[in-house]
């Protein structure tokens, strides 16, 4: 590789930020300011070394964005030199993610959610009010810039906003503030009002602290809870509290059973993936464990971005050690020594909690070269996403971690054969992994006794929209939608419930008896998806909801394949045309969307394009929106 860099140089702050992540440049060839005599006589590295470091590209982009707020040509050039990445490729990666900017912008960026759950709770009024006060989205004001954002996963406190302020690391001592530069900070404002947002934009550090994760769990403290039992009742920062409430007994049992024994338990328990596809977890682990090629990797998909989904956030914020213990068990079962948590970039509190929990676990020998003195080496690294829904697709995660654009790969080959870094990989959602703990604590039979024959255990539901008590609910599989809504306090005049998120489908008020199981929703022609239950009353204009869904898919399409890249645009255009039309006036566009939708479903590379028409189709056919 003979790479050509530009002449742009980084600022001191940018250089420091990158060096803090990657260390000082080892030679003049890799970003050092001078070439020494030795450098000129000896070139180390080359293409092989470059390949090993490519996965640091996304963390390096993050570190500059966190420090300066955007990624300049000089910073990108420096990152490329340090990592031996072609500038064009790094530019392609940087422009892929919504949270990065390659143009100058203020250090403070305010993300105001306008997605489904927030729209159902008045985000349009907040945006309008904010436009009056700060100007339209994208206009710098008060040293900040605000922009409309897809779902931030704060649906229980909708409408929500997230403010990210770039700057140096917060100083540890009282006098340690870098001159003239406010330290890095983030603030969640939810429920959001325009005055509160303006105040937060002016002075993020004075924004009120975020409430505990327990606020998102209306059932907190209920003894029947399994996955949520610690959320709100145990200090999420304390490893001692975690162990005092049964933590790490599952891992001990796992070591007693051995890897094959763990997989057998998980198979017998009938655990299936909670991310949406409902694939049997034990079979995935078995297939990964059996691969002769190595090393094996475990990836936890914590890129929770489906509009209306926030259960993984609540688990990670409220019980971070549970995820770490569950990942250790999964890693042990599949023979992996390295696990990755791919965490969505918009979850700063989960990042902080998990980072601390990882340090805690390492200090106590629960991660590291010799876990629990059992001779098993395992560690976990968190990789932050940067605003791309598509990176929740299991193969797009690999590309994102590897420092490529987060585009899905074609399958076959499947991740269990060729996944992360081309090696056998098991990818599991946060909720799926956490289910492993009760399976090992109480045994497969006890676990499978809850739920139905094919959907065992309990399920988390993210209830949002027009209900009295939005939040994450945990119910045994088999409960129906009516029971769930009764818990959350349904609206008086229910119009529709969106199950499964933007990629899911609508059900009518007369269909509330649908059992909330994988097979039950499938039989009813809808899906559980990731557990989204978005409740809409008759004050909501459904055509606008559909338009928001279509906008979401258009924005989040990676652009790789034609049916999705152009099809999502054509779908949005058609929905725009008929937003105020009904009957025969809408027929032609509905027919057009059906044709495009069918092609997206049949011919798209990944699940995003394949499901981009689901919710719209169900609204037309089940709810009769345009009749």
Collapsing DSSP states into helix, strand and coil, what is residue 580?
A: coil
Retrieve residue 533's tokens: 């239950």
Does 554 help bind other proteins (rule: CB under 8 A)? yes
Q: How far is the CB of 559 from other proteins (least distance, A)?
A: 3
Annotate 384-453 with three-state secondary structure.
Answer: ECCCCHHHHCHHHHHHHHCCCCCCCCCCCCCCCCCCHHHCCEEEEEHHHHHHHHHHHHHCHHHHHCCECC
Q: Which residue in the set 40, 49, 88, 445 belongs to the binding site for other proteins (CB under 8 A)?
A: 88
Closer residue to other proteins in complex, CB, 20/591? 591
Separation between Cα atoms, residue 608 and residue 548, nearest integer Å = 15
Using the rule CB under 8 A, is 557 a contact of other proteins? yes
How many chain residues are in contact with other proteins, going by CB under 8 A? 50
Identify whether the C-beta of residue 471 lies closer than 8 Å to the C-beta of residue 218: yes
How many residues can be counted in the chain?
627
Q: Which of 222, 293, 370, 595 binds other proteins (CB under 8 A)?
A: 595
CB of 149 to other proteins, least distance (A): 15
Work out whether 399 is an interface residue with other proteins (CB under 8 A).
Answer: no
Q: Please, are residues 494 and 509 in contact by the beta-carbon 8 Å criterion?
A: yes
Q: Which is nearer to other proteins, 232 or 567 (CB)?
A: 567
Which of residues 149, 281, 432, 560 is near other proteins by CB under 8 A? 560
CA–CA gap between residue 161 and residue 111 (Å, rounded): 5
Ordered alpha helix ranges (H), 557-583: 562-577
CB 6, min distance to other proteins, A: 7
**Residue 556 is a binding residue for other proteins (CB under 8 A):** yes
- Under 8 Å CB-to-CB from 61, ≥6 apart: which residues? 71, 79, 90, 93, 94, 97, 100, 386
What count of other Cβ atoms lies within 10 Å of the Cβ of residue 101? 18
For residue 290, what is the enclosing H or E element?
helix 281-290
Q: Answer yes or no whether residue 89 interacts with other proteins by CB under 8 A.
A: yes
The nearest distance, CB 543 to other proteins, in angstroms, is 18
- Shortest Cβ 613–other proteins spacing (Å): 12
Q: Which range of residues in 187-195, 221-229, 599-607, 614-622 is near other proteins by CB under 8 A?
A: 599-607
Indicate the DSSP class of residue 457: S
The answer to the question of residue 546 lying near other proteins (CB under 8 A) is no
- Please tell me whether residue 585 binds other proteins under the rule CB under 8 A: no
Quote the CA–CA distance of 118 and 126 in Å, as a whole number. 10
Residue 6 found at the interface with other proteins (CB under 8 A): yes
Task: Identify the residue among 133, 264, 364, 577 touching other proteins (CB under 8 A).
Answer: 577
- CA 232/CA 229 separation, integer angstroms: 8
User: Which among 201-209, 239-247, 250-258, 551-559 is the span making contact with other proteins, rule CB under 8 A?
Assistant: 551-559
Nearer residue to other proteins within complex by CB, 486 or 588: 588
- Please list, in sequence order, all residues whose beta carbon lies within 8 angstroms of the beta carbon of residue 266, skipping any fewer than 6 positions away: 281, 282, 285, 333, 436, 439, 444
CB of 507 to other proteins, least distance (A): 23
Q: Does 388 bind other proteins (CB under 8 A)?
A: yes
Among 87, 150, 307, 348, binds other proteins (CB under 8 A): 87
Residues 149-208 that bind other proteins (CB under 8 A): none
Asked whether position 84 contacts other proteins by CB under 8 A, the answer is no
Distance CA 554, CA 151 (A): 14
d(CA 82, CA 50): 9
Closer residue to other proteins, CB minimum distance, 455 or 560: 560
Nearer to other proteins, 442 or 577 (CB): 577
Interface residues with other proteins (CB under 8 A) are: 1-4, 6, 73, 76, 86-92, 95-96, 98, 102, 388, 405, 410, 554-563, 565-570, 573, 577, 592, 595-596, 598-599, 601-605, 610
């Amino acid at each position: 590789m003979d790479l050509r860099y530009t002449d742009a140089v980084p600022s001191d702050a940018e250089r420091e930020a990158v060096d803090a992540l990657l260390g000082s440049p080892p030679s003049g060839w890799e970003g050092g300011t001078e070439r020494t005599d030795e450098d000129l006589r000896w070139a180390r590295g080359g293409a092989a070394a470059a390949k090993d470091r490519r996965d640091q590209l996304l963390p390096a982009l993050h570190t500059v964005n966190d420090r300066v707020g955007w990624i300049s040509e000089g910073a990108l050039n420096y990152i490329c030199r340090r990592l031996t990445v072609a500038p064009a490729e790094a530019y392609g990666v940087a422009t892929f993610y919504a949270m990065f900017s390659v143009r100058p912008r203020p250090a403070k960026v305010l993300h105001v959610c306008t997605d489904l759950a927030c729209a159902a709770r008045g985000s349009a009024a907040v945006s309008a009010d904010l436009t009056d006060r700060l100007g339209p989205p994208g206009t710098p004001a008060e040293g900040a810039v605000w922009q409309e954002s897809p779902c931030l996963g704060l649906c229980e406190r909708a409408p929500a906003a997230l403010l990210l302020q770039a700057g140096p690391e917060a100083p540890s001592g009282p006098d340690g503030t870098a001159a003239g530069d406010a330290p890095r900070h983030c603030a969640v404002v939810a429920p959001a009002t325009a005055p509160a947002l303006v105040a937060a934009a002016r002075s993020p550090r004075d924004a009120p602290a975020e409430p505990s994760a327990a606020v998102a769990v209306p059932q907190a403290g209920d003894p029947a809870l399994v996955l949520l039992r610690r959320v709100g009742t145990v200090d999420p920062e304390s490893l001692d509290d975690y162990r005092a409430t049964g933590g790490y007994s599952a891992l001990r049992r796992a070591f007693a059973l051995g890897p094959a024994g763990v997989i057998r338990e998980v198979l017998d328990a009938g655990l299936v993936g909670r991310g949406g596809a409902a694939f049997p977890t034990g079979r995935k682990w078995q297939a990964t464990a059996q691969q002769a090629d190595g090393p094996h990797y475990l990836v936890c998909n914590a890129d929770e971005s489906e509009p209306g989904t926030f259960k993984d956030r609540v688990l990670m914020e409220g019980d971070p050690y549970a995820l770490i213990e569950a990942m250790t068990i999964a890693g042990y079962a599949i023979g992996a020594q390295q696990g990755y948590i791919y965490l969505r970039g918009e979850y700063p509190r989960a990042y902080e909690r998990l980072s601390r929990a990882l340090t805690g676990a390492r200090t106590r020998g629960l991660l590291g070269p010799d876990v629990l003195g059992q001779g098993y080496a395992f560690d976990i690294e968190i990789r932050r996403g940067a605003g791309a829904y598509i990176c929740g697709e299991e193969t797009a995660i690999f590309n994102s971690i590897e420092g490529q654009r987060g585009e899905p790969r074609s399958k076959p080959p499947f991740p269990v054969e060729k996944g992360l870094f081309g090696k056998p990989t098991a990818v599991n959602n946060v909720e799926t992994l956490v289910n492993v703990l009760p399976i090992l604590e109480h045994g497969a039979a006890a676990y499978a006794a809850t739920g139905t024959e094919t959907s065992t255990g309990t399920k988390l539901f993210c209830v949002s929209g027009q209900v009295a008590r939005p939040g994450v609910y945990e119910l045994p599989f088999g409960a129906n939608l009516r029971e769930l809504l009764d818990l959350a306090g349904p609206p008086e005049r229910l119009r529709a419930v969106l199950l499964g998120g933007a990629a899911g489908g609508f059900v009518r008020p007369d269909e509330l008896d649908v059992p909330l199981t994988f097979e039950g929703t499938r039989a009813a022609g809808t899906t559980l998806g990731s557990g989204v239950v978005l409740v809409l009353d008759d004050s909501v204009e459904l055509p606008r909801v559909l338009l928001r869904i279509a906008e979401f898919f258009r924005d989040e399409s990676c652009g790789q394949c034609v049916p999705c890249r152009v099809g999502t645009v054509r779908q949005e255009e058609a929905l725009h045309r008929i937003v105020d039309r009904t009957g025969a006036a809408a027929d032609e566009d509905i027919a057009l969307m059906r044709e495009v939708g069918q092609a997206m479903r049949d011919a798209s590379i990944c699940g995003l394009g394949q499901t981009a028409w689901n919710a719209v189709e169900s609204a037309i056919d089940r709810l009769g929106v345009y009749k």
